[in-house]
Amino acid sequence: MMKTLQLRAFGKPATALDLIEAAPPAPAVGQVRVAVKAAPINPSDLLLIAGRYGVRPTLPAALGAEGVGRIVAVGPSVDPVRIGERVLIVPTLEHGAWQNQTVIDEGHAVPVDAKADALQLAMLGINPLTADLLLRRFADLAPGAWVGQTGANSAVGRYVIALAQQAGLRTLNVVRRPEVVADLVALGADAVVVSGPDLAAQITAALGHDQISLVLDAVGGDAVTGLAHSLVFGGTIVSYGGMSSGSPAVISPADLIFRDVRLRGFWLKHWLDATPRAQLAEHYGRLAALVADGALRVPIEATYPLDQYREALDRAARAGRAGKVLFTW
């Protein structure tokens, strides 16, 4: 028997979930069964539980979008040589990773380094790929260009800093807590400013005579306003999160009208649904190599067994965490 965490009703994690026991699932044609080693708790998981995410699955539903594990069984048409492979579970939202074992399509089990840090690999599916695509898809960024971002101390924000540094880009990072500034500078951030009444002045001082080529917004609210003021003519702001309780990004009419600032949205699921599996494997393979050599990593605050899911979800939801929270087996 195996344990699996299920959503039975949208609401608060303390009352909306059930931990049940079930027989290990059998893989069908073209599928593999993965014994999960580690799976993170992401803000998107908490939004899904609350019923405020971009999808509302039929209930009861398995939970956990991403993780890492090993293939322990294969269905018909899948080469048995894959048994034993360590694989990334691609976050399709069609299966759950918060369980001992999960069945997924073979193409959604991407091989990764068997010796690399399992906890860091477990977080590869969503945040590193989001950061990579944000930097690549919305602007033609030359070395030395400035990328401005809100929510810079988030996991995606930290991956943006690391990937931008590798590409020769500079980052101007907006955070809400002054105590994280030194940590981001040590990570490679070129400038870090703290939200407040003088945010626009801080941004201007950090940039000097330069302008921002791309703005990445994970927060919404008025944190993006100052960055928009310093964006190049015709520049793009990409909204990919709403950490300020879903408040809309505040952009002045003057920036929208007179400076032709554009606002775009990005949700990784749309990209995953439209991208061929071979291309998925290429993208993930490149990022997995950076995780394996330590170039991409984020702090981990705590790990929990699945039995302690209430404590784990409560800790993941706390403001001011020092890192990610994961389930481990």
> Which residues are known catalytic residues?
53
What lies within 8 Å, CB to CB, of 152 at 6+ separation is 158, 160, 161, 171, 173, 174, 175, 184, 189, 192
Quick one: angle between helices 43-50 and 309-317, nearest 10? Answer: 110
Q: Smallest Cα–Cα separation from 208: which of 191, 225, 224?
A: 191
**212 Cα distance to chain centroid:** 23
Cα–Cα distance measured from residue 140 to residue 121, given in angstroms and rounded to the nearest whole number: 29
Does residue 111 contact residue 283 with C-beta atoms inside 8 Å? no
Give the β-pairing of 101-105 and 31-41.
Answer: antiparallel
Q: Which long-range contacts (CB under 8 A, 24 or more apart) does 165-171 make?
A: 166/290, 166/295, 167/135, 167/141, 167/143, 168/143, 168/144, 169/135, 169/141, 169/143, 169/144, 169/145, 170/144, 170/145, 170/146, 171/146, 171/147
**In angstroms, what CA-CA distances link 296 with 116, 128, 165, 245, 261?**
12, 8, 11, 28, 31
**In angstroms, what CA-CA distances link 179 with 120, 196, 201, 216?**
24, 14, 20, 22
